[in-house]
Amino acid sequence: MLMRNADLVHLASFGDQAPAAAQNYAQAAKRFSFHQGANFRGFESFHIIQTTRVEAPTPLLDMVVLAKLPIDKSGPTTPSVLLRNRQFAANPNSEDSKLSTSDWTIEDNQLPPDAQRVWASGGHQNPVYYLYTENDLATERKLFRRSGAGATWKEIVAIGSDLLPYPSHPVFGTTSYGPAFVNPYDRNHLLVITVKGIKVSHDGGTTFQDDPVLTALITGSGKYPLTGDYRLTGNFRVGRNVTIATRAAQFATLSQVAFYRDDPAKLAVAAPYTGGFYRDEACGYWQSLTPYLPRPFTAVSSVGIDHQGIYVAMEGRSIHRIGAYEFAPMATYFSRDGLGATQVARLMKADGGPVAAANVTVSCATEDGVLLFQGVVTSDAAGVISFPLSIASSGTYVVHLDYSGKTSLASATTSLLFTP
């Protein structure tokens, strides 16, 4: 199912013969509409349940969707329900079905209030559901989990009130994906983008661990903000406004996460402003896909992964397949933790070790743009880049750092305000 506009939806068989029941739309690439009532934000108000590697395929698409019924007469106060259609591709057009034909059944009608987004995990037989709720002012955001058929919804309290706000815009809509990124093949594995960074759970949300490396990678080591609406709040600054990368859609700083069906411990992430990254939990560190992306760089909006490659979608630059992604270089980033007064940053590898004896291009300017220094500084044994002492030691400076990388280590760049 290909969708960027609710009135311009297509089913695609990607060259294969579509199932007979789906040929009316898939084989002829016939356009249709998909609406489910008022007040839902983002594509993740519906979810196609993925088939695990031990299940038989479901060729007609098994879909769950948040809806207010009847869809043509519902209003803001109408209770939401979770609907399910195990053969969605046979009649996907909501203008025809109104989500009320016999193939649509109520999966759950006891949802927490203000439901906005839903995810399913664990396959078709007894899926686990995750639910994101947000009130109209986006001042109260919660994440819930339903562990199986007949179970009640339980709030994931470990994430607290840290979920990143996803504001809605009357023209552009809302952010496409997130703030939770649920592994559809492992019901206990999810990533969440919060106001404090990326957090990861391997126990269904009972506990979360910070991922400071991924947080640094998607923010350019702090150059870009953590936001659920980068397009609308894009006047981040390090002494200068920066051109917003896309007007076509709204993204969070972490725009999408893809999980590998045949090995759910492998995942790829899309970061609109820094590129793409890959991780195999067996290796335990992030690898950078950004060196393989075309230049000039445009925002990375989504990502997919299978045995043949990682597929990276870029705004205005089509889709690119990266093969042999297991051999991508280890990611690097700049850290500001544990530094002395004249130390600007520490160059780190994604496995937690420092990058020693690395040549880093440093440029330093005043806040009004007067260039004071530009040259190469070599990191010490702890990966530390020190402030050029030839510059006056008082004041606040705009510092740009650029490490070009090598075969086994990816490049890293950042900009920051520094006061010695």
Q: Could you write out the three-class secondary structure of 119-146? A: EEECCCCCCEEEEEEECCCCCCEEEEEE
Residue where a domain terminates, one of 327, 356, 375: 327
Q: Categorize the per-residue pLDDT at 239 as very low, low, confident or very high, splitting at 50, 70 and 90.
A: very low
pLDDT in the model for residue 281: 93
pLDDT in the model for residue 170: 47
In a domain, 18, yes or no: no
Q: Categorize the per-residue pLDDT at 48 as very low, low, confident or very high, splitting at 50, 70 and 90.
A: very high
Residue 285's CATH number: 2.130.10
Q: Who wins on pLDDT, 249 or 269? A: 269
In a domain, 372, yes or no: yes
Q: Which residues contact 79 (CB under 8 A, 6 or more apart)?
A: 68, 109, 111
Instruction: Indicate if the pLDDT at residue 35 is higher than 50.
Output: yes
CA distances 347 to 120, 252, 333, 334, Å, are 38, 25, 6, 5
With beta carbons less than 8 A apart as the criterion, state whether 300 and 314 touch. yes
pLDDT in the model for residue 405: 97
Q: What is the pLDDT of residues 308-349, one digit of tens each?
A: 999 999 988 889 999 999 999 999 999 999 999 889 999 999
In a domain, 27, yes or no: no
Residue 359's CATH number: 2.60.40
Does 175 share its domain with 270?
yes
pLDDT in the model for residue 390: 72
Does 44 share its domain with 71?
yes
Q: Categorize the per-residue pLDDT at 393 as very low, low, confident or very high, splitting at 50, 70 and 90.
A: low
CA distances 385 to 331, 341, 398, 400, 420, Å, are 18, 12, 15, 12, 13
In a domain, 17, yes or no: no
14-23, 37-46, 151-160, 301-310: segment of lowest average pLDDT:
37-46
**What are all long-range contacts of 366-375, with beta carbons under 8 Å and residues at least 24 apart?**
366/395, 366/397, 366/398, 367/239, 367/396, 367/397, 367/398, 367/417, 368/239, 369/239, 369/240, 369/398, 372/397
CA distances 356 to 57, 151, 185, 349, 411, Å, are 50, 53, 39, 10, 14
Q: Who wins on pLDDT, 7 or 79? A: 79
Does 353 share its domain with 407?
yes
Structural domain span for residue 357: 332-418
Does 358 share its domain with 381?
yes
By DSSP bridging, strand 80-85 and strand 63-68 are antiparallel
pLDDT in the model for residue 24: 81
Q: Categorize the per-residue pLDDT at 240 as very low, low, confident or very high, splitting at 50, 70 and 90.
A: very low
* Average pLDDT, integer, range 231-237: 43
Q: Categorize the per-residue pLDDT at 27 as very low, low, confident or very high, splitting at 50, 70 and 90.
A: low
Instruction: Indicate if the pLDDT at residue 59 is higher than 50.
Output: yes
Q: How far is CA 70 from the centre of its chain?
A: 32
Q: Categorize the per-residue pLDDT at 249 as very low, low, confident or very high, splitting at 50, 70 and 90.
A: low
pLDDT in the model for residue 265: 96
Q: What is the pLDDT of residues 176-213, one digit of tens each?
A: 788 999 999 999 999 999 999 999 999 999 999 999 99
Residue where a domain terminates, one of 271, 299, 327: 327
In a domain, 5, yes or no: no
Q: Who wins on pLDDT, 289 or 116? A: 289
Does 190 share its domain with 242?
yes
Number of domains in the chain: 2
Q: Categorize the per-residue pLDDT at 135 as very low, low, confident or very high, splitting at 50, 70 and 90.
A: confident
